[in-house]
Structure 1
Amino acid sequence: MDANPLGALGGVVGGLLGGAANLLDNLTRGTAPSSGGHFVVNHDNVLAAAKIIQNQVDELKDTFDDAHDDLEIVPPGDDEVSQRMTEAWNDILIRNEDSYAVRVQEYILGLNKLVSQLRATAKDYGYNEEQITSALGGSRVV
């Protein structure tokens, strides 16, 4: 276990922040954002938007899955202070309902929901399931 309690978490959070920035940059590049920094999804870009977000989901999920086991901190010593400090850190990182691990999983779930919505929108625009699945590189969000 890494002595730095934020080592693995820092990588995951850094990946999330960098990924989110890339996601927004890719979505707004080539589309005309309206005021407030929103982008417009239309027939021409709905599948590209879904693909960008699906790629981000896949990357973030892989990063999180790889780092998850390393998020738990082991006590640096057998003394009471080390034990209590470790418990507190583990609560914040992985155990509490609002832990960083749970927040990362909720963020990934939210992106999955967005991909599902974009898939539904693509169907509304007339794309069939084969075209959608092909555009997403075989990715299927349920």
Structure 2
Amino acid sequence: MTTPVPPPPPPAPGGGQTLTVNRDNVLEVRKVILSAAEQAQMKLRALQPSLIVQAPAGDEVSKTSAAVWTANLVGNPDSHYVRLLQYVDNVVDLGRQLEEAAKQYGYTDEEIVASFNVHQGQM
């Protein structure tokens, strides 16, 4: 009987991936990254009200449970919602890093802005 091959090791902490850009694709990559971040930000903000848990009854257990769930989902500084927004902010930061890379490749500010104009200046 042979022993099966062990599974591959888990990925290194941080879970980051390598992103390779060059002069030919840096603006397009930036556009894709910022577009995805913008969409995620809008979806999260639209979803926020639905994450508030309403107590199913007026008793103390129901009210306390709803408050705790709401805090964990959206209210606390380390809530799921806040962590998701932080992740989106990190993606926006990646877009800014790509902007700096584009400048190093010789693109002007005007060319960079023209490649993807962030809607409503929210990012």
Assess same fold via TM > 0.5.
yes
Conserved 8 A contact 1:115-1:141: no
Q: What is the CA RMSD across the aligned residues, in angstroms?
A: 1.8
Higher relative contact order (CA 8 A, sep 6+): 2
> Hey, which bits of structure 1, 4+ residues long, moved more than 3 A?
none
Q: Which has the higher helix share?
A: 1
Which amino acid counterpart does residue 60 of structure 1 have in structure 2? A
Structure 2, unaligned runs of 5 or more: 1-15
Determine which structure has more spread, i.e. the larger CA radius of gyration. 2
Hey, what's the Cα distance between the residues in 2 that align with 1:92 and 1:82?
15
**1:78 equivalenced with 2:81 (yes/no):** no
Aligned counterparts of 2:63 and 2:25: Cα–Cα separation in 1? 52
Q: Which runs of 5+ in 1 are unaligned?
A: 1-35
**What's the TM-score, normalizing by structure 2?**
0.79
State the shift of 1:77 in Å: 0.5
- Residue 7 of structure 1 corresponds to none
What is the TM-score of this pair, normalised by structure 1?
A: 0.69
Equivalent in the alignment of 2:84 = 104
Q: Is the partner of 1:110 in helix, strand or coil?
A: helix
- Please state how far the C-alpha of 1:37 moved relative to its aligned partner: 5.4
Identity of aligned residues (%): 31
